[in-house]
Amino acid sequence: MKLDELQKMTQEKRVEFIDLKLCDLLGHWHHITLPISSLTPQLFESGVGVDGSSLPGFTSIEQGDMIALPDPDTAFIDPFFERPTISLIANVMGVENSVSAYSRDPRRVSADAEVYLEETFKGTSAILGPEFEFYVFDKVNFFQGPDAAFYKLDSAEAQWNAGQDEESLGYKIPYKKGYHVTPPKDRTYNIRSQICAMLTGLGVGIKYHHHEVGGGGQHEIETEFATLLKMADQSLLVKYLVKNQCFREGKSATFMPKPLFNEPGSGLHVHQFLANEKGSLFYDKNGPARFSKIGLYYIGGMLKHVDSLLAFSNPSTNSFKRLIPGFEAPVAGTYSVANRTACIRIPGYQRDPWTMRFEFRPGDGTMNPYLAYAAMLMAGLDGIKNKIDPGLPLNRNLDELSPDELAEIHQLPTSLNKALNALETDHDYLLAGNVFTEDLLESWTGIKRKEVTEIRVRPTPFEFEMYYDA
């Protein structure tokens, strides 16, 4: 969008402020708000100075000065500001020698991944369509101190509330029985519709929304396809709208992978394919499941590098509490047709040569989408480059395999620490085209190792139940 178009929009909407949103290494938005008088050519040439040392994963305090440079193509009217405000997503620029793209800026990684793809396959785009799963709670409390630690979650939908005296309506969702339930059991459908209407108004295509399996308030919104960088931008926008609209309604939304014990976890499955003007490069009407060799090589690359990929797609200690048998979450590095226990699923209902795709199922909402989406693309391109054959699909329910059968299949990492170990030994594919950099990987790994340590050194409530009477 050109400056004159932005100025016309702000005049029509009587905008008073500009809000710049920038993403730290971990995938969280930060923001700074300017008066509308700042909407000048200089804003898009010089940006706004920020302290990079205060942004997780960025520079040190003695080299903290950085620049937030807004991208005019990302403009949207922020629906949560009382005073009319236009939001712009900003790139983070370094100023050490001259103003230039900062190596650890996650948005740069996605942009450079698209450049690398164009250099590898002229006229080709990476197309993604995520499924956003999340829980909505009516009340959330948690605390961690030296002498006490607890969390307490509540959902009016959940069966655990069936015995409460405050309500006698009777419409509770049994354990693991929430999939596509209708009102009055589904109490949050109006909030989901409101969120989807807001997203549509901001240019994010919506495929559908529905209640998910978790009876304690689990939901899903699936978006239409978009190119990699655009989808990464939209992914943070989806999370922003979900959290803020639920907060506005007096509820709390979380994309935490496993907030409830023994209920389904929340994933962020990513449908993806490469496409040019003729349609999906993954389509071949004569191929197995109508899938092309290029598509299979792409899958081969992702399966080869899947352990290190999980360091970006599942980058929390909580992530691996979701990746356990019995909850439709993948635990092995396999692919299949229509099998939802597989790591990679080729949807069995596909017929359209324009959108022939597969779904990468391990990921969750703790990912930084700029980094995770780019890492998936780089792994797939490495598979195409080296013609990595994924072998035959495994179309069996992995939850029903015997221990001996499972032992013959590659098992996914069972902890963040193991995924980080894999990333340290298998990351050359990420460095191609300077998409990822060594300093970014070092910063990422260092932060995540600290998270592992923070969990490791703290006792949990369940440990008291198990060991207090030692």
Write out pLDDT tens, residues 198-233: 999 999 999 999 999 999 999 999 999 999 999 999
Residue 62: per-residue pLDDT: 46
Q: Which of these is catalytic: 104, 192, 269, 345? A: 269
- Listed residues 87, 102, 117: the one ending a domain: 102
Neighbours of 183 (CB within 10 A): 11
In a shared domain, residues 80 and 138: no
Write a three-state SS string for 224-267: CCEEHHHHHHHHHHHHHHHHHHHHHCCCEEECCCCCCCCCCCCC
Residue 186: inside a domain: no
Whether 359 is catalytic:
yes
Task: Judge whether 410 counts as a catalytic residue.
Answer: no
Do residues 418 and 333 lie in contact, with contact meaning Cβ atoms separated by under 8 Å? no
pLDDT higher than threshold 70 for residue 98: no
Q: For the segment 253-287, what is each residue's pLDDT rounded down to a tens digit?
A: 999 999 999 899 999 999 999 999 999 999 999 98
Tell me what pLDDT residue 168 has: 60
For residue 172, is it within any domain?
no
Which is the catalytic residue, given 108, 357, 361, 427?
Answer: 361
Give CA–CA dist 52/105, Å, rounded. Answer: 10
Q: Report pLDDT for 167.
A: 65
pLDDT at 67 over 70: yes
Question: How far apart are the C-alpha atoms of 347 and 399, rounded to whole Å?
Answer: 19
Burial (CB count <10 Å: 0-12, 13-18, 19+), residue 370: buried
Tell me which of 222, 359, 364, 382 is the catalytic residue.
359
Give me the number of domains the chain comprises.
2
In a domain, 111, yes or no: no
Same domain membership, residue 149 and residue 82: no
What is the overall mean pLDDT for the chain? 92
- What pLDDT score does 270 carry? 98
- pLDDT at position 95 is 80
Do residues 340 and 422 both lie within one domain? yes
pLDDT at 407: 77
Same domain, yes or no, for 385 and 436?
yes
Residue 31: CATH number of its domain: 3.10.20.70
Same domain, 68 and 149: no
Average pLDDT over residues 171-199: 93
Claim to verify: residue 30 and residue 129 sit in the same structural domain: no
Residue 47 reports pLDDT greater than 80: yes
Task: Give a yes or no: residue 119 inside a domain.
Answer: no
- Which has the minimum average pLDDT: 94-98, 123-127, 182-186? 94-98
* pLDDT tens string 405-462: 777 889 999 999 999 999 999 999 999 999 999 999 999 999 999 999 999 999 999 9
Residue-level pLDDT at 118: 97
Average pLDDT over residues 21-49: 96
Contact 314, 323 (CB under 8 A): yes
Is a pLDDT exceeding 60 seen at residue 160?
yes
Q: How far apart are CA 434 and CA 118, in angstroms?
A: 14
The CATH number covering residue 409 comes to 3.30.590.10
- The catalytic position among 24, 112, 131, 382 is 131
pLDDT exceeds 60 at position 152:
yes
Task: Say what percent of the chain tops pLDDT 90.
Answer: 78
SS3 91: strand
Question: Per the residue annotation, which of 24, 112, 114, 133 is the catalytic one?
Answer: 133
- Region 289-307: mean pLDDT is 96
The beta strands (E) that lie in 24-124 are given as 29-35, 48-51, 65-70, 76-77, 85-94, 100-101
In a domain, 151, yes or no: yes
Asked if 277 is an active-site residue, the reply is no
pLDDT class of 162 with cuts at 50, 70, 90? confident
Do the domain assignments include residue 148? Answer: yes
- What pLDDT sits at residue 404? 79
Is position 51 annotated as part of the catalytic site? Answer: yes
Structural domain includes residue 178:
no
Among 340, 399, 426, 449, the active-site one is 340
| Model confidence band, residue 1 (pLDDT cutoffs 50, 70, 90) | confident
Choosing from 5, 28, 51, 351, which is the catalytic residue? 51
pLDDT digits (tens, 9 = 90+) for 354-402: 999 999 999 999 999 999 999 999 999 999 999 999 988 887 777 777 7
Q: Please tell me which residue in 186, 212, 222, 307 is annotated as part of the active site.
A: 212
Concerning whether 269 is annotated as a catalytic residue, the answer is yes
pLDDT of residue 282: 97
- CA atoms within 13 Å, Cβ hemisphere of 60: 2
Which comes out higher in pLDDT, residue 165 or 293?
293
If asked whether residues 231 and 96 sit together in one domain, one would say no
CB atoms within 10 A of CB 200: 12
Per-residue pLDDT for 83 more than 80? yes
**Would residue 345 count as lying in a domain?**
yes
96, 129: one domain: no
With CA atoms as reference, report the closest residue to 425 among 304, 319, 315, 318: 304
pLDDT tier at 170 (50, 70, 90 boundaries)?
confident
Task: Tell me the average pLDDT across 340-349.
Answer: 85
**Residues of the domain holding 370:** 125-155+218-467
Same structural domain, 8 and 148: no
Q: Are residues 12 and 145 in the same domain?
A: no
Residue 5 appears among annotated catalytic residues:
no
Together in a domain, 92 and 140? no
Is 405 a catalytic site residue? no
Find the catalytic residue in 112, 138, 220, 364. Answer: 220
Above 90 in pLDDT, residue 348? no
Per-residue pLDDT, 212: 95
- 314 and 380 share one domain: yes
CA dist list (Å): 142 to 151, 157, 254, 312:
4, 20, 13, 26
